[in-house]
């Protein structure tokens, strides 16, 4: 980080040791990290982040949770974003289930300063995801994903596959993060060789079906233009 001095460094699962965070900030980078509850957002602010990502339960990929490990009480984006906005003074970035301009506009209405979109970018040609992953997300509807710990040992949202169905989606016997993934690697490779997604991380959020099929630049412009159009529609003066 000190060598390349990126403008922003984004952490997940809380923050590393304070000494390291201070060094990243001293190199001139802004530090951001994900919160899945108000308590995590306040902790991140107290520990020096420049902005908080409010990551709702709809989001694809690993949950950013670090103070709580209870998946039954994780909060949806619509409820999380305004409560985090009320609780912290730093800017809030909304994440989870946002895949078109309506979602961006809604997040801004809830007080977010920006949005972080993941799943919609998986459909862009720039995303080099496995063929079985692309096939799974292209077919995924609103209720085809679940939060599981069987793939890596930490809870993450992905399209439901055979392993999640047979062992999970959540189980106490999953090996600790990230060792579950290495144990699965040979099975994953063998299954993918015959186009089966039984052991592949099919990370995706609940809004896969909303995602327009565009290149990443066009998608970014579309999200912004559509959001501005939605907001303009409700500006009566
Ligand atoms: C395939 C995939 C990989 C991800 N990897 C990371 C990661 O390495 N670090 C991180 O902070 N968030 C990661 N995320 C979470 C995203 O940054 C973002 O919070 C999330 O995708 C937002 O929800 P959405 O998928 O509904 O748009 C990942 C998400 C996906 C779908």
Q: Taking Cα atoms as reference points, which of 128, 130, 127, 161 lies closest to residue 146?
A: 161
Distance between CA atoms of residues 78 and 56, nearest Å: 8
Which residue puts its alpha carbon closest to atom 10 of ligand 1? 12
Q: Residue 56: CB within 6 Å of ligand 1?
A: no
The token pair at 59 is: 């989001």
Pocket-testing residue among 115, 118, 151, 211, ligand 1, by greatest number of atoms within 8 A of Cβ:
118
- CA gap 154, 49 in Å, rounded: 23
Beta strands at 8-11 and 30-35: parallel, antiparallel or unpaired: parallel
Segment 37-61, tens digit of pLDDT = 999 999 999 999 999 999 999 999 9
What domains sit in the chain, N to C, each tagged with a CATH number? 8-123+210-233 (3.20.20.70), 131-193 (no CATH)
| CA 102 to mean position of chain CA atoms | 18
Check if 119 has its Cβ closer than 6 Å to any atom of ligand 1: yes
Q: Other CB atoms closer than 10 Å to residue 119's CB: what's the count? A: 27
Please give the pLDDT value at position 157: 98
> How far apart, in whole angstroms, are the C-alpha atoms of residue 10 and residue 51?
10
Tens of pLDDT, residues 93-149? 999 999 999 999 999 999 999 999 999 999 999 999 999 999 999 999 999 999 999
């Amino acid at each position: 980080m000190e060598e390349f001095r990126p403008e922003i460094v984004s952490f997940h699962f809380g923050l590393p040791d304070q000494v390291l965070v201070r060094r990243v900030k001293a190199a001139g980078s802004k530090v951001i990290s994900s919160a899945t509850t108000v308590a995590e957002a306040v902790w991140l602010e107290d520990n020096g982040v420049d902005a908080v990502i409010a990551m709702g339960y709809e989001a694809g990929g690993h949950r950013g949770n670090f103070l709580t490990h209870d998946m039954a009480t994780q909060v949806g984006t619509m409820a999380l974003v305004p409560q985090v906005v009320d609780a912290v003074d730093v800017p809030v970035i909304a994440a989870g289930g946002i895949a078109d301009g309506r979602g961006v506009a809604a997040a801004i209405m809830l007080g977010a300063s920006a949005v972080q979109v993941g799943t919609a970018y998986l459909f862009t040609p720039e995303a080099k995801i496995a063929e079985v992953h692309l096939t799974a997300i292209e077919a995924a509807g609103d209720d085809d994903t679940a939060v599981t710990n069987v793939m890596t040992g930490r809870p993450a949202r992905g399209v439901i596959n055979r392993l999640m169905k047979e062992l999970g989606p959540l189980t106490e016997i999953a090996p600790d993060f990230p060792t579950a993934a290495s144990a699965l690697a040979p099975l994953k490779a063998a299954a993918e060789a015959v186009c089966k997604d039984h052991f592949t991380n099919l990370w995706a959020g609940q809004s896969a079906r909303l995602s327009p099929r565009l290149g990443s630049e066009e998608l970014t412009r579309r999200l912004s233009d559509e959001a501005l159009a939605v907001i303009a529609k409700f500006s009566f003066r």
